[in-house]
Structure formats: C-alpha cells, structure tokens
Amino acid sequence: GGVFLIAYFIMSLIMGLPLFLMELSLGQYRATGPITVWNCCPLLKGIGIAMLITSSLVSLYYNVIIAWAFYYLGSSFQSPLPWSCNAPGNAYLCQVSGPRVGSVVGSGPGNASGIVSASEVFWNEQVLGVMHSSGLGDPGAVQWPLALCLLAAWIIVFFCTLKGIHSLGKMVYIMATFPYLVILTLVIWGATLGGSLDGVRFYLSLDWSRLQSAQVWSDAASQIFYSLDIGFGGLVSLASYNKFNSNGHGGCGNTLVLAIGTCCTSFFAGFATFSVLGHMAWRNQVPVGSVTDSGPALMFVAYPEALSLLPISPLWSVLFFLALTTLGVDTLFGRIQTITRAILDEFPALDNQRKKAVLLGALCTSFYLLGLPLVIQGGIFWFTLIDKYSTGFGLITVSLFMCLGITFCYGHHGHDPPVSTLVQAHAGLLQGMLGLLYPLPAAGEHQAPAQGWRSRGEELPSLHLSLPSEMGSSCHGFGAGLPGPGAPPRPVCGCWR
C-alpha cells in the first residue's frame, strides 16, 4: 500500500538517484563496458563480472515472461477471448447471475480467496500446465507452445542486438512510448469500473507499523534497482557511448529526468493495476489483498480478466500484450547488449560483424536452452525461486563494492583524471552512500530467506516450495554477488603500482 510507496520514494532519493548518476558518469567518463571500466584496478573487475552474472540470471528468466506475453498475444486474435466468460469452454466457471459473475469458488493456486476466475484457469492449465506438476521434483513435460514462443523471443532479441546500439535509439521511440498509451487507457477505463476506488484506497492506504519492517525497505530497494537498472551493468555500457562532455560532466539533468520519470511511471501504473484489482475484489466480494498474488499472476490473470471486460476486447488485448512484448524486448535488448559489450571489450579480436553474429548466436542459443526448464509444466516453481532469490542480494553487494571502488580506489590520487573528476565532484555523496546503501536493504535481504523459509508456503500455497529448495536458491542469490569483492589473483591495483 501507501507505506511501500513512502519507502520506495525515500529509497529512490537516498539510493536510487545517486547510484544512477554514479553508473552513468562512470560509463561516460571511461567509455568502456562494465568489466573493462575497472582496468585501472584489476582487483575490482570482479564487480563487472558480478554485474554480468546478475544480468545473465535476469535475462534467463526475463525472456520467459516475454514468451508468456507472446502466447497471450497470439491468443488475443480470437473472439471471444479464450480466458473470458464468453468462451464456450468457460461456461462451467461463470455464473449467470449474482455478484461473482466470471468466477467460481474453488481452490485456485493463483489467489488466497478460494475463488477461481476463468482467466486464472486459462493461466494455470492452458498456459503453464502447472496442474500436471506437484512441485520441483515433478517437472512434467515441456509446454511446446511456450517453447516456441521462447524461441521466437530470442530470435527477435538476436536480430535487434545484431543491429547494434545505433538502432536502439530509433526503436525506443516506439517501444518506450507505446506502453504509456496503453497504461493511460487502462487507468481511464479502470476508473469507470465498479469497486475501482476500493483498489485505489488499498493502493494508497497507510499502515505506519509496516515501516518498522526491514523487509518493506528491502523490497523497495529491490524495486528501485530493477526500475532504474542499477547494478546490472547496462547503465555503464549504454552511457559509454555518450561523448565525454555530454550534459555537463556527469549528466545530472539526464539523471533527474530519467530517474524521476521512471519512478513516476511506476507510481502511475499502480493506479491501473489496483483499479482493476478493486473491481475484481468488488465482483467476487473478497478483500482487495486476497484477489491474486503478486508476480506473474498479477500480469497474466488480473489484466487479462480486465481486458475481457472492455468493448472490442480482442483489440485491447492485442494492444496490451503488444505493448508488454515491446517493453520486454527493449529491456532484454539492453541486457544482451551489456553482456556483448563486456565480452567484446575483453576480447577485441571478436569485434567484427561476422564474429559478433556468431557470439550473439551462441549467447542467445545458450540462454534459450537454459530457459527451457522454465517452460515445462513445473517451470513456474523454478521461475518463482529464481525471481525471488537470485539477484536481490547480488545487486546490493555489487553496488556497495562499486561505491567503495570509486570512492577509495578508482581515480585515487588522480591516477585516472576522468574518474578523479567524478570522485571530486561527488565525494561527499559517494561516502554518504556507503552509510545508507547497505544497512536497511541488506538487513532485509538477510532476513528475507529466513522469513521466506517460514512464510513462502503460506503466500504461495500451490507452489510447494520445500525448505531445502529455498535455502539453495538463497545461497545461489548470495553467490551472484561474490565476484564483487575481487577477481582472481592479479595485481591489486594497476594504478597504484
């Protein structure tokens, strides 16, 4: 609710904006990727390696979301929509009269209310096939339609990345603006739905006692990292294409516009989400908080159900999932571009069109094969584990050591004049970040596994996540940040010799 928004905006001011500025400045001054940028201090190359590991983990499961969106996009060309009450196969789910039109009481795995909607049945049975898997130890068969959608997603990412960074600017004009039109439409339409105000009140409600929970601050910090792309290396890589003197040695103007715009977009999109959830709660006569779980169920259960209520629903469904697909491809394009740039910086011999195409093909093929376990009938269990535990601690650890490296090592005593300028300009800010960055979010991340081992089964009763599996995933998440403290034995700092 509103308490999370307070934590979100506080963390964006004291942590998001400074780190965003720092990564942009570092990439712009050094004009190299996230690994080569630490050539001055080879020991800190581990920071760049950790960034690539984190980006790879996110890319692995992020494209699965795009595959789901592709599946829904293809299904949207049907009338009536296959997840609506008007579809012939959903007649048994939908009552003709009463307040719960579109739902039936049951033990649905996607919500805590015991009411299963037609969109939820479509998501669990037809898309995921999760009803045929009992847990991590029962993987089930491959969902071949999803496997083909995943293959199509990686082919699109391959050709987009092959065009190089110069095509990104042209693509963003469409990929970044089109979702805003869809969100605005959903906000306006959501305001006309019954019960939408209840959802908005829930969104803005304040429970001040929640501010005492480290988990709230940890979740807010993680959301900031993902929203602003901090700690993934993408900011360093993309900023490296700027001119050295672009926007006044550090890009404060761009930083404020981009960071504030991103945070405001997240806030504005929340109204579209919770107006829909309020309507679903009103229709099913359940509390807003128990309509559906967060995560994929929110995007692929709540929104499709709302879209099915719109006039000319197939058209709006096509537009929504097309916007979701373009936004996802745009994000993943930046991830793969970061990984490619880092490899080419370390191995310049590969930096020609033919060898780059082979490298990209190998990367995309590897990610596709590694992503196949996530599109089997039990793949949602693995997706949940990776999503919850794989990157949170790693991102915070990477950012902490990046602050330490820039403040105390990189550009020390003026051995690297460009970054010395950065350190001198933002010395107080960077040193302050060392005190603000780690305690609250890191405390939450350390508590999260312990709390999660006790409570995840309550939050996701259908995803029978065992204690060993969650402990293993937490260790996997810790491992993502381990390269940050240092690379294999090499000269401690080349600029100090």
Question: Per residue in 237-262, is it b (16+ CB within 10 Å) or e — as a string?
Answer: bbbbebeeeeeeebbbebbeebbeeb
Q: How far apart are CA 75 and CA 103, in angstroms?
A: 21
Contact present, 463 and 384 (Cβ < 8 Å): yes
Return the C-alpha torsion angle 108, 114, 119, 121, nearest 10: 30
Q: Is 327 annotated as a binding residue?
A: yes
Q: How far apart are CA 74 and CA 138, in angstroms?
A: 28
Q: What is the DSSP string of 45-103?
A: HHHHHHHHHHHHHHHHHHHHHHHHHHHHHHHTTSSS-TTSTTSGGGGGG--SSSTTTTE
Q: How far apart are CA 434 and CA 312, in angstroms?
A: 53
Q: What is the DSSP string of 451-482?
A: HHHHHHHHH-TTS---HHHHHHHHHHHHHHTT
Q: How far apart are CA 179 and CA 320, in angstroms?
A: 8
Q: Is 330 annotated as a binding residue?
A: yes
Q: How far apart are CA 340 and CA 326, in angstroms?
A: 21
Q: How far apart are CA 393 and CA 163, in angstroms?
A: 33
Quote the DSSP letter at residue 117: E
Q: How far apart are CA 297 and CA 112, in angstroms?
A: 12
Please name the amino acid found at residue 336: I
Q: How far apart are CA 120 and CA 141, in angstroms?
A: 21
Q: How far apart are CA 187 and CA 274, in angstroms?
A: 9
Quote the DSSP letter at residue 163: T
Q: φ and ψ at 141, to 5 degrees?
A: -90, 165
Q: Is 162 annotated as a binding residue?
A: no
Contact present, 485 and 46 (Cβ < 8 Å): yes
Instruction: List residues forming the annotated binding site for Na(+).
Output: 227, 327, 330
Instruction: Please state the residue numbers annotated as binding site.
Output: 227, 327, 330
